[in-house]
Structure 1
Amino acid sequence: MADRSSPTVRARRLRQQLRQLRDRHGLTLEQVVARSGKAFNASTVARYESGDRIPRPADLRVLLDIYQVGDEQREHLMTLAKDARQRGWWWPMRMALKSGFGVYLGLESEAEAVRKYHSQLVPGLLQTEEYTRAVIRAIELTLGEEQVDERVRVRQVRQRRLVDEKRFHLWVVIDEAVLARRVGGPEVMREQLHQLLRLGRHSNITIQVLPFTAGAHASMEGDFSIMQFPDPDDADVVYLEQATSGLALEDPDDVRRYTLMFGQLAGIALSPERSAELIQAKADEL
């Protein structure tokens, strides 16, 4: 089972708090550099605040001195930096992942709730192994069999947490097209639909289907995920997965827009009960 503690979330929290400390003191990047005795340059401080780099212990101590941070908070931030430098559970399989997906895995590992909309595929957390293999082989034309196996293993680890940790809630809205697309052939697709029915009975998993009859909707331009965290200091994050990379959105306006979009989708989608009936009907057709 993967360790739920996430260096990605720790790094995000650290950079946010460093930026807040500088803003609280009303200092520019150049003023921080001057007060440090030029122990580092402005671009380095900016990278610490953007999350592109984790502060070295010596640099972090200098920054905390400049910001007049007390002992308790100092210890907390030093620990955050140490934890942020650790490697996530997915590190041994990183070469098989698309660029940026490690960021998503780090966020998902510590999220307490994830809301997703998928228009073309069953979400990875709900996929059977054979469905996963069929999807990866179709999308990743250059991956070798060993890399395919690695990606399958990553999804299996993620799925174990979904089933084992009832405090982690997954709420997905999938387009009816997902049920109609025969990924991997009739047998693979039938088993995948049965998997959706099985997982949909878990108390921490909500599955809704957006029927074709719903017509136009707010997310016709693409899929998205919204992650919510147990610590109130960790704001929600939206993740957009692309063909070769991924994008994490943290701007409050962006997050609010996607939150409203998901609310609309959930409102016009079939109820979980009616969704299960439609999934069963699609499975019976196979």
Structure 2
Amino acid sequence: MVLGKRLRQLREQAGVSFEEAARVIEVTPLTVRRMEKAEVGLRIPYVKELLRTYGVAAAEIDDFVAMAREANKPGWWYSYRDVLPEWFKAYVSLESEASVIRLYEPHYIPGLLQTPEYATALMRVGFPNESKEDIARRVDLRLRRQDLLSKPDAPVMWAILDETVLRRPVGGAEVMRAQIDHLIESLDLPKVRIQVMRFSVGAHPGAYGPFHHFRFGFSELPDIVYTENLAGSVYYDRPEDVVTYLEVLDRMSVQAEPVARTRDILGELRKEL
């Protein structure tokens, strides 16, 4: 995405239109648009020819090409492509590169904080016709994603969980006790923050459904908001859309219980199980 945006900037600076760029590499203008929007891979011969057309110096072309080759390499999740929905691949990629992940979850524990047993129970409900082997693969993918939180450069993860999430019995009492124990342990991670939105708050601005906000360490990459439904997902990167979700997260973080109260709340809920 960063390289695509940079290609667009270089094209515009050179005063080259989509049609002119397309003629240089003998493709349609739509292909050039899709390259700039990161909707297709960056073919190295195309990249080199476009950069020459835009008047980019040879040394900068070499650096750009090296980054393009790196960007074209499959992510670690490529080996799970058999159980990874097409619409969710972008999410895993964004999650892996984010410096800040803020989210609201009204239904279930976020994937990055789930125990294997909790994740398995959810997968059995979500994919009732799949084999045990495929369910195990999906759970393994989810657990691999969790490695992100223990890395030295782990992103800040700030989650607001509806109280429903903690009271909905997924997998039975024993699974829920272990899951809440895991959440309590997760609070010891330096970059994990969890808040609980109590029932007593009543209606609040995030009650429409779950959403996740990503911020990155690249100035070229805009903030992105992710939402999902039964049929797929939507990614928002227009500033006006992202700001709407950020304002909601900010208001909700004030309405929810303070982070300092989370450990006590989780402990109280565990006693009830």
TM-score range, shorter chain: over 0.9
**1:132 paired residue among 116, 119, 127:** 119
Structure 2 contact 160–253 (Cα < 8 Å) conserved: yes
Structure 1 contact 99–244 (Cα < 8 Å) conserved: no
Whole-Å Cα distance in 2 between the matches of residues 72 and 237 of structure 1?
32
Name the SS of the counterpart of 2:243 in structure 1. helix
Give the equivalent residue in structure 2 for 1:84.
71
Instruction: Report the CA distance between 1:284 and its aligned residue.
Output: 0.2
Deviation readout 1:210-236 (Å, 9 max, x if unpaired): 111112222111111111222222222
Whole-Å Cα distance in 2 between the matches of residues 46 and 166 of structure 1?
33
Give the equivalent residue in structure 1 for 2:265.
278
Deviation readout 1:81-120 (Å, 9 max, x if unpaired): 2122211101111111223211111111121221111000
Structure 1 contact 99–246 (Cα < 8 Å) conserved: no
Q: Report the AA paired with residue 146 of structure 1.
A: E
Whole-Å Cα distance in 1 between the matches of residues 49 and 181 of structure 2?
57
- Structure 2's unaligned 5+ residue stretches are none
1:20 has 2:14 as partner: no
Whole-Å Cα distance in 1 between the matches of residues 239 and 60 of structure 2?
26
Give the equivalent residue in structure 2 for 1:55.
42
Structure 1 contact 40–59 (Cα < 8 Å) conserved: no
1:193 has 2:193 as partner: no
Q: Report the AA paired with residue 16 of structure 2.
A: L
Instruction: Report the CA distance between 1:123 and its aligned residue.
Output: 0.2
Structure 2 contact 103–212 (Cα < 8 Å) conserved: yes
**1:33 paired residue among 22, 33, 52:** 22
Structure 2 contact 22–31 (Cα < 8 Å) conserved: no
Name the SS of the counterpart of 1:222 in structure 2. coil
Structure 1 contact 39–59 (Cα < 8 Å) conserved: no
Name the SS of the counterpart of 1:112 in structure 2. strand
Deviation readout 1:236-264 (Å, 9 max, x if unpaired): 21111322422222111111111111111
Give the equivalent residue in structure 1 for 2:102.
115
Name the SS of the counterpart of 1:78 in structure 2. helix
Give the equivalent residue in structure 2 for 1:232.
219
Give the equivalent residue in structure 1 for 2:246.
259
Whole-Å Cα distance in 2 between the matches of residues 26 and 212 of structure 1?
56
Q: Report the AA paired with residue 151 of structure 1.
A: R
Whole-Å Cα distance in 1 between the matches of residues 239 and 15 of structure 2?
22
Percent identical residues: 32
Q: Report the AA paired with residue 51 of structure 1.
A: A
**2:80 paired residue among 93, 102, 106:** 93
Most deviating of 101-110 and 172-181: 101-110
Instruction: Report the CA distance between 1:13 and its aligned residue.
Output: 0.9
Whole-Å Cα distance in 2 between the matches of residues 13 and 80 of structure 1?
10
- CA, structure 1 residues 242+99, in 2 after alignment: closer, same or farther (shift >3 Å)? farther
Q: Report the AA paired with residue 42 of structure 2.
A: P
Instruction: Report the CA distance between 1:193 and its aligned residue.
Output: 0.9
Matches within 5 A, 1:205-244: 205-244=192-231
Q: Report the AA paired with residue 204 of structure 1.
A: K
Name the SS of the counterpart of 2:213 in structure 1. strand
Name the SS of the counterpart of 2:129 in structure 1. coil
Deviation readout 1:108-158 (Å, 9 max, x if unpaired): 112122111100000011101100001111112232211211111112112
Give the equivalent residue in structure 2 for 1:163.
150
Most deviating of 231-240 and 179-188: 231-240
Please tell me the root mean square deviation across aligned C-alpha atoms, in Å. 1.7
| TM-score for the superposition, normalised by structure 1 | 0.90
Most deviating of 205-214 and 61-70: 61-70
Q: Report the AA paired with residue 121 of structure 1.
A: Y
Name the SS of the counterpart of 1:90 in structure 2. helix
Structure 1 contact 98–244 (Cα < 8 Å) conserved: no
Whole-Å Cα distance in 2 between the matches of residues 97 and 260 of structure 1?
31
Whole-Å Cα distance in 1 between the matches of residues 64 and 235 of structure 2?
23
Name the SS of the counterpart of 1:73 in structure 2. helix
Whole-Å Cα distance in 2 between the matches of residues 84 and 164 of structure 1?
21
Structure 1 contact 166–203 (Cα < 8 Å) conserved: no
Structure 2 contact 5–220 (Cα < 8 Å) conserved: no
